[in-house]
Structure 1
Amino acid sequence: MNMPVIKAAANVLVHCPNMMMDHGTTLTQEKAKNPDSDYMKSIGNFVRSYEESVSYAPNQVFIGNMKPSDLSKVSAPWYKNPVEPKTDGKFGQIMTEVDFYGLMKICDRFELVELSSDAAPVIKENLQATEMFSEAQLSLLDKSMPVSEIQAMVDKHIALGLYDGDRLLGCVREAHESDPNLSSHVVFENLVTKASGVLAMKQLFKKNNINPADVDYIVETSEEAVGDMNQRGGGNMAKACGEAAGCINATGIDMRGFCAGPAHGIV
């Protein structure tokens, strides 16, 4: 390949306030050290709703409904001057946190993500409406459990809860009882990375009429590492994302460089 070009791109956003509040690095550290700090007491007042995030002008630029130059026409500060809220755009979409829980379960090959019996059918209906997922993938959402059983696992600290506000909708279980590399927190991070990558790939294929089977190589450039105590970071997120996105003829590698990873991946 003498002159590679970028032929298509997709941008996706997932609005996940509960993930940030319950499992975000800064907040979990602050909770452990200073649970009664002014920061912890006030942070909730600055979390935007899904509707506010969708109507935020830069986010509309990101998914392709506005041009960057259009931002000059919106009065500052932008968060106080909402624009037309569109969840779908030329380049991608803005997904809700609740639907993202369903995507995490679809991407889970080890049955570590559990959804409650009342939440799973609603999430399945929402994801089915996107026309991005196969019946086989959607059928994975048919398996659910009573919220009382999910709460019991969260209370035993063998799973991290998936919430919508104060409402428990599901959990992510640990993959091993003694391997810290397979704790519920690490598994949670890895599944979020995989699911968001799959969402971007699904949008790329849908918006650009690309057959996933035509993709033969994938370079994944996130900042997460997949593996167990014997092979920390030895897993392959690229091939895992490709499998879930329908790239049946692709292989791939993970390229790591912290926030510079995508630059290395493109080169």
Structure 2
Amino acid sequence: MKYPVVKAAGYILVNTPDMILHNGTTQTTERITNPDSEYLKKVPEYIRPYEKVVNYAPNQVYIGNMTPEDLKGYKMPWHDKEVEGADRFGKFGEIMPQDEFIGLMKISDVFDLVKLEKGFTASVKEKMLNHPLFDENDAAKLKEGEELSEIEEQINKYHAEPLYNDGKIIGCVKKAHEIDINLTAHTMFENIVVKASGVLAFRHLIHNNKLDPASIDYVIECSEEACGDMNQRGGGNFAKSIAEMGGAVNATGSDTRGFCAAP
């Protein structure tokens, strides 16, 4: 009898301060129910900048640059301690900044729902070309970008979900259907975030462990979100779409929902 074992792992973190403010469930709910709350006013003061996220010792443990035992060398609490010379890349994965992740959302979007402003697109395209896991074929999916006025029209007239970077609108995510409540702009935003983060973790898994993605025959995706339309809500399939972008061309797969802890 054969027993399943964990042979390799890929871990990633993504720092998305603007998404916390504008797309996070707690903040969007508070903005509807209590738009002038002190909580909303104070949230920005407690969001770490990217550099501090990278330098946070537990995050360095997570991506494999330190061991859990190394944390004993840092007096608690750890939130005000920084690791000198910390690297965004580790043996398990990386800590990706928000602008690159938004670019990855566009690269992961096969339905042309993500629209990015031209200047932002040019900036992030250069960064993605310098990333070890992405190439010219990936960067080409960013295209040339859109005029900001066109993006604002999508937001104001067609209820697209705004995308912010450094507090400014730099893009949007469009809804995928006129009436299907399962395909609203906000839901599509969530789904594309799930896919993009899954792609990043999957590519690190393959790259860092020198695996042949074509040898993988089944992928199980275990995030909290569910994708599907009015005919098959939650029917998926994140797993197959992530596998496709990771080069697992022979894999099938399925989604198994999990909350905080995967199955």
The answer to whether TM tops 0.5 is yes
2:174 alignment counterpart: 173
Equivalent position SS for 1:110:
coil
For residue 112 of structure 1, what is the amino acid of its counterpart?
L
Equivalent position SS for 1:12:
strand
1:13 alignment counterpart: 13
Cα separation, 1, equivalents of 2:258 and 2:83: 35
Equivalent position SS for 1:118:
helix
Cα separation, 2, equivalents of 1:234 and 1:96: 31
Cα separation, 2, equivalents of 1:55 and 1:45: 18
Equivalent position SS for 1:78:
coil
CA contact (8 A) 1:61 1:68 kept: yes
- In the TM superposition, residue 165 of structure 1 has moved relative to its aligned partner by 2.1
CA contact (8 A) 2:219 2:251 kept: yes
1:106-143 per-residue CA deviation (whole Å, 9 max, x = no partner) reads 11110000111101122111111123124322211123
What RMSD over aligned residues (CA atoms) do the two structures have, in Å? 1.3
Q: What stretches of structure 2 of length at least 5 have no aligned partner?
A: none
For residue 252 of structure 1, what is the amino acid of its counterpart?
G
2:250 alignment counterpart: 249
1:193 equivalent in alignment to 2:194 = yes
Q: What stretches of structure 1 of length at least 5 have no aligned partner?
A: none
CA contact (8 A) 1:121 1:142 kept: no
For residue 254 of structure 2, what is the amino acid of its counterpart?
I
For residue 249 of structure 2, what is the amino acid of its counterpart?
I
CA contact (8 A) 1:18 1:164 kept: yes
For residue 120 of structure 2, what is the amino acid of its counterpart?
A
Cα separation, 1, equivalents of 2:151 and 2:193: 19
Cα separation, 1, equivalents of 2:169 and 2:27: 19
- In the TM superposition, residue 75 of structure 1 has moved relative to its aligned partner by 2.1
1:160 alignment counterpart: 161
1:36 alignment counterpart: 36
2:112 alignment counterpart: 111
1:184-240 per-residue CA deviation (whole Å, 9 max, x = no partner) reads 000000000010000000111111111211111101111111111111111211001
- Percent identity over the alignment is 48
1:61 alignment counterpart: 61
The aligned runs of 1:1-267 (5 Å cut-off) are 2-84=2-84, 85-260=86-261, 262=262, 264=263
Cα separation, 2, equivalents of 1:133 and 1:215: 20
Cα separation, 1, equivalents of 2:258 and 2:81: 36
Equivalent position SS for 2:260:
helix
- In the TM superposition, residue 76 of structure 1 has moved relative to its aligned partner by 2.1
Equivalent position SS for 1:114:
strand
Q: Which moved more, 1:74-83 or 1:134-143?
A: 134-143
TM norm structure 2? 0.96
Equivalent position SS for 2:141:
helix
For residue 9 of structure 1, what is the amino acid of its counterpart?
A
Q: Where has structure 1 moved over 3 Å in runs of 4 or more?
A: none
Equivalent position SS for 1:156:
helix
CA contact (8 A) 1:127 1:133 kept: yes
CA contact (8 A) 2:214 2:249 kept: yes
TM norm structure 1? 0.95
For residue 55 of structure 1, what is the amino acid of its counterpart?
N
